[in-house]
Structure 1
Amino acid sequence: MAFLTEPEPSRGVFEAVAPGVSRMVAANPGLMTYHGTNTYLIKTDGGRFILDPGPAQDRQHLDVIARLEDVAGIIVSHHHADHFGAVEALRAVTGLPVYAFERFADDAFLPDILLRDGDRVGGLEVLHTPGHASDHLCLARNDGLLFSGDHVMGWNSSIVPLPDGDMGDYCRNLTRLLERDDRLYLPGHGPAIIDPQPHVRRLLDHRLKREAEILSAIASQPQAPADLSRRLYDKADPHLARAALRNVEAHLKKLEGEGRARREGDIWRAL
């Protein structure tokens, strides 16, 4: 499927991307992060909030955030280090409260404010959207703007890594977003997604097509996830190959939960 691109972003500066929203991109580019993690500064009725301070290693990024004034709190979309890594240091420096899902998946960290699906933070509606991560949150503004985190990105599709990720949840929450009427997504990596519903539909259709291919493959010949991944994805780069394997494993786990596949050792067969 077609994906979006954008030029190499500036570093160390927040730039406006929507009314009341500025973005600064962390210096952690990579095959899984595109140009880097998007950190958002969001103006709300309850003050300004930082969404996803980014990785711990980018000191310039952290220093710029720490110098901001009139910030009400830090919101974490999910526990993955490229979004959450700088949070402890930032909280220590600023004393700002940290908002995260009530069952935050990093047991070593205790958020200050625990969020549930349907809660509001400064007028932003909290949507619990597990799939990519069990504690993943999207945030919706009343004017049709949605902060989609890593659940929906424009530059690539998301990986669904076991055991914390769940392909069934991921597909269900794509469907949930399709039922909404948001007009602009600001994701965790990469550019904004304008008119997002067709893109979300393509993502869901792609997942269902891949699932059908996996089920057909193990129906014709029971096989291991690594063999399926090589056959269906054929990724030469080792990082991309590992990501493909994770998605195959997540699809198989979904099929098992639905009673359509069974695991025998490392071999999977269709039912």
Structure 2
Amino acid sequence: MSISLASRSRPSWQVREPPPPTGRPLKAAAHLPGLRRVVAPNPGPMTGHGTNSWLVDHPGGTAIIDPGSDHPAHLEALLAAAGGRITHILLTHTHRDHLTGARPLGQMAGAPVCGFRHSAVPSFTPDIALDDGSVVAGLTVLHTPGHATDHLCFLTADGILFTGDHIMGWSTTMVPPAPDGSVRQFLDGLARIGALAPSLLLPAHGPPIPTPESCIRALIAHRLSREERILAALHQGPATLDEMMRRVYRAIPPTLRRAAELNLLAHLEKLRDDGRAIHDRDGWRATTAHGESPPSQVPGRPCP
């Protein structure tokens, strides 16, 4: 899930594509025949063209990452693309645009649904509980919280990483506040992924990302720049979350306003945890190194 906000120019890290066809397998790359995606028919402001359901061939069969939708045609397309050899259904996390098709597909294929051992959805318990460092269907599991507490990435033996919603090429990721998310954990996850030096990133929404290193560097810089702009807005004086929204964002489409509020609150929580902001009865305000309000106000800049 993302928060896509219009900007005056396209950021250098973005990778976009025309609306891909749904219902048929698309190769990740010409030289990677064992990696394919079927795009789910669930487009929207938070999902882009739809959820990528990735098919990963391994010696025992085919694993499906993020079935995404329970639309019958989508599930039938996944079964057909896998040739009836589905061995595992893997979830990067339990947001609806990833989880919805998991149980129905699992029942149709007779395959277990695998997810992080501490599900963020009380009503869902994975058939196979995964943890950081687990290996399933030839993939190594990385626990990467931030966008969701139960978020996982999956790494192939040759360095290709399925990033779920942690890294996407078409838009920035929405990071909710605690207890559901954390900007600090999100940034830590980006740094960890960068240190692994993956050769290709395959996200849950949008096209493959062929330049992982530059993309990750740009996303970290973008997130830290946004943090500084939020801090500058705080220096205008105490503000409620609603007032901060008016200071930070130029304009928000109604369909994205709630996501933007959550994203902003998550950044404010990080600033508070870093000792750079305080939340009290007057709202949010900036601090100095000694925890007091700054002696003068600094004009804020809007956040892109």
Q: What TM-score, normalized by structure 2, do the two folds share? A: 0.85
Distance in 2 separating the partners of 1:150 and 1:33: 10
Distance in 1 separating the partners of 2:60 and 2:281: 53
Corresponding residue of 1:133: 148
Aligned-residue offset at 1:208:
0.6
Distance in 2 separating the partners of 1:65 and 1:266: 53
CA contact (8 A) 1:262 1:268 kept: yes
The answer on 1:157 being equivalent to 2:168 is no
The answer on 1:171 being equivalent to 2:187 is yes
Corresponding residue of 2:8: none
Distance in 2 separating the partners of 1:220 and 1:15: 50
CA contact (8 A) 2:231 2:286 kept: yes
Corresponding residue of 1:232: 248
Mean Cα deviation higher: 87-96 or 155-164 = 87-96
Superposed CA offset, 1:219-248 (max 9, x none): 331112222223222223112232222111
In the TM superposition, what are the counterparts of 1:20-59 in structure 2 within 5 Å?
A: 20-56=34-70, 58-59=71-72
Distance in 1 separating the partners of 2:123 and 2:172: 29
CA contact (8 A) 1:185 1:194 kept: yes
In the TM superposition, what are the counterparts of 1:74-89 in structure 2 within 5 Å?
A: 74-89=89-104
The answer on 1:202 being equivalent to 2:218 is yes
Corresponding residue of 2:75: 62
Distance in 1 separating the partners of 2:195 and 2:230: 27
Aligned-pair identity in percent equals 43
Mean Cα deviation higher: 10-19 or 104-113 = 10-19
Q: What TM-score, normalized by structure 1, do the two folds share? A: 0.95
Two-structure CA RMSD over aligned residues (Å): 1.5
* Structure 2 counterpart of 1:15, one-letter code: L
Distance in 2 separating the partners of 1:5 and 1:253: 31
Secondary structure at the residue paired with 1:88?
helix
The answer on 1:248 being equivalent to 2:264 is yes
CA contact (8 A) 2:38 2:77 kept: no
Distance in 2 separating the partners of 1:26 and 1:33: 10
CA contact (8 A) 1:225 1:266 kept: no
* Structure 1 counterpart of 2:221, one-letter code: D
Corresponding residue of 2:6: none
CA contact (8 A) 2:88 2:137 kept: no
Mean Cα deviation higher: 223-232 or 80-89 = 223-232
Secondary structure at the residue paired with 2:235?
helix
Secondary structure at the residue paired with 1:35?
coil
Aligned-residue offset at 1:174:
0.9
* Structure 2 counterpart of 1:52, one-letter code: D
* Structure 2 counterpart of 1:262, one-letter code: I
Mean Cα deviation higher: 90-99 or 30-39 = 90-99
CA contact (8 A) 2:238 2:282 kept: no
Mean Cα deviation higher: 72-81 or 10-19 = 10-19
Secondary structure at the residue paired with 2:207?
coil
- Please, which runs of 5 or more residues in structure 1 have no aligned partner? none
Distance in 2 separating the partners of 1:95 and 1:122: 15
Question: Comparing both chains, which one has the higher relative contact order based on Cα–Cα distances under 8 Å and sequence gaps of 6 or more?
Answer: 2
CA contact (8 A) 2:233 2:248 kept: no
CA contact (8 A) 1:28 1:36 kept: yes
Distance in 2 separating the partners of 1:59 and 1:50: 16
Distance in 1 separating the partners of 2:282 and 2:115: 36
Corresponding residue of 1:10: 21
Secondary structure at the residue paired with 2:133?
coil
Secondary structure at the residue paired with 1:168?
helix
Distance in 1 separating the partners of 2:231 and 2:22: 44
In the TM superposition, what are the counterparts of 1:175-186 in structure 2 within 5 Å?
A: 175-186=191-202
* Structure 1 counterpart of 2:101, one-letter code: A
CA radius of gyration, larger in? 2
Mean Cα deviation higher: 150-159 or 197-206 = 197-206
Secondary structure at the residue paired with 1:179?
helix
Secondary structure at the residue paired with 2:115?
strand
Superposed CA offset, 1:72-131 (max 9, x none): 110000000001111122223332111101111111111111111111112211110000
* Structure 2 counterpart of 1:10, one-letter code: P
